[in-house]
Amino acid sequence: MSARAERPRARAQRGLGAVALVVVLLLGAHLALLASHGAQFVEQRAGAARLQQVQAREAAESGLAWALAMLNDPRPVDARCAPPGPGLRSLRARWLAGTAAEQAALQPACERAAARWHCDCPDGAAGRPAAPQDGLLHPAFGLTLAPGDTPSQWRLRAEGCAGRGPGCGDPGGREPEARHRIEIVLARAGSTLRPPEAALTAVADVRLEGSVLLARTDPAGAGAAVRSGGRIDRIAPAQTLGPPGTPAEALCQAGDPRLAQGGAPALWRELLGLPPQGADLPGWERIDCAGLCDAQAVAARIAQGSQALWLDGDLDLGGRDWGRADQPVLLAVSGRLLARESFRADGLLIGAQVDLAPAGAGATPARLRGALVSLGAARLAGALELRHDRLLLARLAPLGGALVMVPGSWFDPVNP
C-alpha cells in the first residue's frame, strides 16, 4: 500500500480517538453534575428535615405556653377550647379534676393552620383538631397532665410534631416526620387567700340562737370565735367555745372598727387582697345562677373536683355535703347563704348575707368545719356546730394562685 493511502487511515484513527476522548470527558462531566445534584438533593433533604425538627420544637414550646395560659384562665371553655360563655367549666377545673380523680386523661391538642391554632379539648380522650384539610403538613402539639411528686404539683408534657400524628392531634395516624417532647413541673404560686382567724366573721350584726355552738379551740392560734363589725347577740343555749382558760368575753369581738368602717370591701380585701368585683382569679369557677342556685348542680361540680366556686345568686346548703377534709371547698355566694335543713361542710363559706337555721328539734346538727364569713349580717339558729379549723383552711390558701413552672424543672430529652 502506498504512503498516500496510509495517510487517510491514520487521520481516521486519530479522529476516532478524539471522539472517544470527548465521550469520556462528557461522561465525566455528567457524573460530576450528577454528584453535585446528589449532594444538593441530600442537602435539601437535610434542610427539610431540619426545618421539620425546628417546627416540632417550636410547636412543643407553643404547647407549653398555651397550656400555662389556659390553666390560669378562669373562663369556661367548650370542646374546642374556646370561651363561649357561662354554663361550662374552665379548662383548669376540668383538667385538674380529671387528674385528681385518675379518670381518663384529658389530652388537648392543637394544629396550626390558616394563621391560627385550631384546638380540641374533649373530656377523657385525645384531642382531634378540626383544622382545614388542604393536604399540607401543619405543625401540631398535644398535651398531657399527670400528678407530680407532691399534691400541689403536676407534670406537664408537650409533644410537638411537624404534622398531625399520634399524640399530636391524630391518635390513629401515621408517625410524623419530626417529633419533639418537652416536660416541665407545675406548682401553685402565691397564697391569695388569707383565712379568717374567727370561726364566724361578719361585717354587720350577728345573732346566735338555739343550740348553736361556735368553737375556736386551737391553742396554737389566738382569735375570737365570733368577730363582727356590729353587735353580737348570743341567746342561750347558744354558746361559744375557746381554748381552756380563755375568758368568754375574749371569744366575742363586737364592733370591730376595721369591719364597721370599711364594710364588705375591706373584709374582702383582707381575705383576698381584692374587691369583690375582682373574683375572676385563676382557680375560681364562676356560675351565674340568676336567683337561687341549683344546689345539686353546684354539689356535682364539687364532687367532680372543683374547689373554688363563685356563685352569682343565693344558695341553700341544706340536705347536702360540701367538700371533704382532704378536699375542702372555697365557696363564695354573691347573695344569701341559707340552710333550712341539716348539712355538712368542710371549707370556707362566704355570703353577702348568712342565714343558717336548720329546722327540726333533736335532729342531727348541721356541721361546718373551717370558717364562715358574712359580708353583711349573720344569723345562726337551730342545731348547728361551727368549728374553726386552721389546718383545713391552710389547704385552701393556694387555690386562687397561678400555676407556674417550677424553676429548673424543664426536661428536654433526646429527640429524634
Per-residue pLDDT of the chain (416 residues; tens, 9 = 90+): 555 555 565 555 556 667 777 777 777 777 777 766 666 666 667 677 888 899 999 999 999 999 999 988 877 788 888 877 555 677 887 787 666 555 556 789 999 998 899 999 887 788 999 877 777 889 999 999 988 888 778 899 999 999 889 999 888 888 988 999 999 999 887 656 788 989 999 999 999 999 999 999 887 666 789 999 999 999 989 999 888 877 777 889 999 999 999 888 888 888 877 666 555 566 777 888 878 999 998 988 887 777 888 898 999 999 999 998 888 999 999 999 999 999 999 999 999 999 999 976 556 789 999 999 999 999 999 899 999 998 898 888 777 678 889 999 999 876 55
| Rounded Cα gap, residues 151 and 377, in angstroms | 37
The runs of H, that is alpha helices, within 101-165 are none
| Rounded Cα gap, residues 365 and 81, in angstroms | 43
| Rounded Cα gap, residues 208 and 379, in angstroms | 6
Spatial CB neighbours of 386, under 8 Å, sequence gap ≥ 6: 199, 200, 212, 213, 214, 215, 367, 368, 372, 380
Quote the pLDDT of residue 326.
Answer: 82
- Residue 249, exposed/middle/buried by CB under 10 A (0-12, 13-18, 19+)? exposed
Dihedral, CA atoms, 377, 378, 379, 380, nearest 10 degrees? Answer: -170
CB atoms within 10 A of CB 105: 15
pTM of the complete model:
0.67
CA gyration radius, the chain:
35
Instruction: Select from 96, 153, 71, 58 the least CA-distant residue to 402.
Output: 71
Element (H, E) at 13: helix 3-71
State whether the Cα torsion 371-375-377-381 is positive or negative.
negative
Are residues 199 and 226 in contact, defined by beta-carbon separation less than 8 angstroms?
yes
Which residues face 168 on adjacent strands? 165
Are residues 378 and 198 in contact, defined by beta-carbon separation less than 8 angstroms?
no
Among all chains, which residue has been given the C-alpha cell 380523680?
101
| Rounded Cα gap, residues 85 and 213, in angstroms | 42
Peptide bond into 237 cis (omega under 30): yes
Residue 398 has, within 13 A of its CA and on its CB side, a CA count of 13
Angle at 128 between CA 126 and CA 129, to 5 degrees: 135
Distance set, CA 17 to CA 6, 26, 203, 259 (Å)? 17, 14, 113, 112
Element (H, E) at 54: helix 3-71
| Rounded Cα gap, residues 338 and 398, in angstroms | 27
Quote the pLDDT of residue 193.
Answer: 77
CB atoms within 10 A of CB 133: 7
Please state the domain extents for the chain. 58-190+401-405, 200-396
Are residues 241 and 224 in contact, defined by beta-carbon separation less than 8 angstroms?
no
| Rounded Cα gap, residues 289 and 335, in angstroms | 10
Are residues 237 and 209 in contact, defined by beta-carbon separation less than 8 angstroms?
no
Instruction: Select from 167, 141, 169, 146 the least CA-distant residue to 156.
Output: 146
The grid cell for 39 is: 449532594
